[in-house]
Amino acid sequence: MEPDFKVICATRASRDRFATQTPLGRSLALFPHPFIELELHAENRTGLAALYNGAIERCRGKPAYLVFVHDDVHLLDLFWPHHVMQGLKRFDVIGAVGNRRRLPGQPAWRFKDAAFTQDEGENLSGWVMHGRTWPPESVDFYGFPGHEVKLLDGLLLAARSDTLLARGVRFDEQFSFHFYDMDFCRTVEQHGLRMGTWSIPLIHESDGNFDSPAWRDACRRYLAKWGS
């Protein structure tokens, strides 16, 4: 029997507004797969790491494919759940875009230094579209997906619950939003699991909120934890 398939999303919108006014809500309504269970945290003020850890724990004894995804993501393919399941046959954790290496002091998956210099193309993998309309405002191609990586963007992360539970992998709840994904990727690697990018067509409305006060505070805590 195939594991369950769960989408975990936190949103500041109400449950009704999520379904009709957020990109993810509209996508799930457009592609209403009956086997998908939506775990929606509406009107949320809790950190993502804590919510995601709760979803993992609730799968004890009942394995599931877990898709952790932001509410400002448009899913563009009817068969996106199949892509997720195929990707998780090859890797333990997958995402849309990532970096094949990790550098000391790296502030985000695609930047290589504190000046936000984008890393060279040969180190990046995956693609994502940005904008609020169709056609999108930009198509950011970082390299073919399907490569093993060290870092993934948290806009969409997927894994099997039994894999994470067996290795004791969790999100660090000190990172409520910024750096929860960077920290998670290092924990995944530390526990001997493999990460990779996979082809999951999507549009992300946000391009990140780098260098805000909250971001800088999380960056300091992240670097203090890992030492680089």
User: Please, what is the average pLDDT of the chain?
Assistant: 96
pLDDT at 209: 76
19: three-class secondary structure by DSSP? helix
pLDDT tens for each residue of 92-142: 999 999 999 999 999 999 999 999 999 999 999 999 999 998 899 999 999
Point out the least confidently predicted range of 60-74, 126-140, 201-215: 201-215
pLDDT at 210: 85
- Where are the chain's structural domains? 4-226
12: three-class secondary structure by DSSP? coil
Q: Where does the pLDDT of residue 208 fall: very low under 50, low under 70, confident under 90, or very high at 90 and above?
A: confident
pTM: 0.96
Catalogue the long-range contacts made by 207-216 (C-beta closer than 8 Å, 24 or more residues apart): 207/130, 208/108, 209/178, 210/107, 210/108, 210/116, 211/116, 214/177, 214/178, 215/178
pLDDT at 1: 64
Q: Sign of the C-alpha dihedral, residues 165, 169, 173, 177?
A: negative
pLDDT at 211: 83
N- to C-terminal Cα separation, the chain: 43
Rg of the chain on CA atoms, in Å = 16
Is the domain defined by 4-226 classed in CATH 3.90.550.10? Answer: yes
Count CB atoms within 10 A of the CB of residue 211: 11
Residue of 84, 93, 204 whose CA lies nearest to 151? 93
